[in-house]
Structure formats: structure tokens, C-alpha cells
Amino acid sequence: MPIHFIPAFTDNYIYIAETPKGAWIIDPGCADPVFAWCAEHQRCPSAILCTHHHADHTGGVEALVQRFRIPVYGANQRIPQLTHAVRAGLLALDEESLTVLAVPGHTRDHLAYVWKGALFCGDTLFAAGCGRLFEGTAAQMFHSLQQLARLPGDTAVYCAHEYTLSNLRFAAQVDPENPIIAQRQEMATAQRARNAPTLPSSVTLECASNPFLRCHEPALIRSANTFDPDTGDDPVRVFSTLRRWKDHFS
């Protein structure tokens, strides 16, 4: 089924997933570009799915609900206009079945949605990166990312921000001998030059080139210990060090 990109703000993506029975809006940080898409395509959305409560993912929910009178799915009442609180497991919607995953780390109650080989992961997994730790712990985010890494390799990764080039610069710093990173940089640079998204990625590609999914690899262990010699080789500690390094990387 078609999945549409709607750019928002400076680097957000809102997604619309079309189904035979409806259309789902995923992480609507603002409403106006969604209204424009619906008018252009003559579609009325049937539901809103939110991965977490941050305003750049939920700022358009209220206006969309007022216009379309549609249900809102998310973790809890921190999602505005929430009508259906969901937990990890299966979710039936518009005669379709989605898998909901609990992926704490960026926030304590972050969710991801898997549907027909597509992963909508909000600010947990990015192309070549991962989200900052605002509420969760490094251990929580590490295990959330490992959960996503165990999805089928051909799963398409739809994250919520266009951070790929900056993430790849960091990946090249910490994993400089990885040829896949250089290949991704070349491709992503060309994509952004024509204002095209660098997404979706895939689970296979992320497992091969995303440093935050490869914290068990000797190259990443060495890099983490150059930044903080007390890191050691425990993958969670390696992840924590790489995440702190990325927080200050420019």
C-alpha cells in the first residue's frame, strides 16, 4: 500500500499510509500540509497514529481531529485528543493488523508501528542514527534498538526526521573503515541535492552501517574507548558512550 511523505518544519516527515479502507496519519506535527495533501488527493484520513508526545509529532492532532473527527492512537494521555491507548501487541485498524512495539528511550513511552513490512519508528531509530535520550536510559534505548534490529532485514524504516547526512558524518567518524557508510553518504548527498528524502532505509542497511546498532563490533568498541577510556566492551556502555559523543558532535 502507498506510503506518502509530507515534509514539515525544517526536517520532520509526517507519513500517510493508505489502506483499502482508509488512510492513517502518522506523527502529524502540524495540520496544514496534511490538509493540503488530503485536498489534492481527495482522501479523508481514517486515523492518527502517534509514536510519542513531543509537539513536533503531535502539534497538528487537534486541528485534524476537529476537521475529520477521526480516532487518535498512542501510548497514553500525553498524546493530545487520544481516543485509544495502545500497548505492545497487535492493533486492528480499518480491517488491517499492525504490530505495536514498545521502544522506550527517547521518551519513556515511545511506540513504533509495523505494518506490511514498514516500520514507523518516530525518534527511536534514524537512518544511520538514533534519538536522543530525553526520558529513558541508555540501556532502554539500546534494547529498543536491538528489538528493531531483529525485524526482518527487508523491513522499510520510516523515521520521523531527515537527519541522515549529519548521522552519516558521525558514523564515518566512529566507523571510518566501513565502506557502506561512504556509499550511503554519496547516495544521500545526491538525494538531498534534488530535495528527495533519504528514506526509507531498511533494517539490513541499518544493521550494516548504523553505529548504534553495532555496539558489539570491535571498531565501535575501539572508537567509544577513544572518547571515554572507561567504556570497556559492554555493548550497553559502548552505546551510552557513543550517544554522549553524538550529543556533542558537530
List the binding residues for Zn(2+): 52, 54, 56-57, 106, 123, 161
List the binding residues: 52, 54, 56-57, 106, 123, 161
Here the cell at position 209 is 552501517
Close Cβ partners of 4 (under 8 Å, ≥ 6 residues apart): 15, 16, 17, 18, 37
Cα 26 from Cα 121, distance rounded (Å): 10
Count of other CB atoms within 10 angstroms of residue 203: 22
102 in Cβ contact with 135 (< 8 Å): no
Strand order across the beta sheet in which 156-159 lies: 89-93, 96-102, 111-115, 118-122, 156-159, 201-202
Residues with catalytic function: 52, 54, 56-57, 106, 123, 161
Residue 61: enclosing H or E segment and its boundaries? helix 61-68
Look at the block and give the residue holding cell 528511550: 105
Look at the block and give the residue holding cell 481516543: 83
Cα 156 from Cα 199, distance rounded (Å): 9
Close Cβ partners of 65 (under 8 Å, ≥ 6 residues apart): 48, 72, 81
Rounded to 10 deg, the angle between the 32-41 and 61-68 helix axes is 40
Say whether 111 sits in a helix, a strand or coil: strand
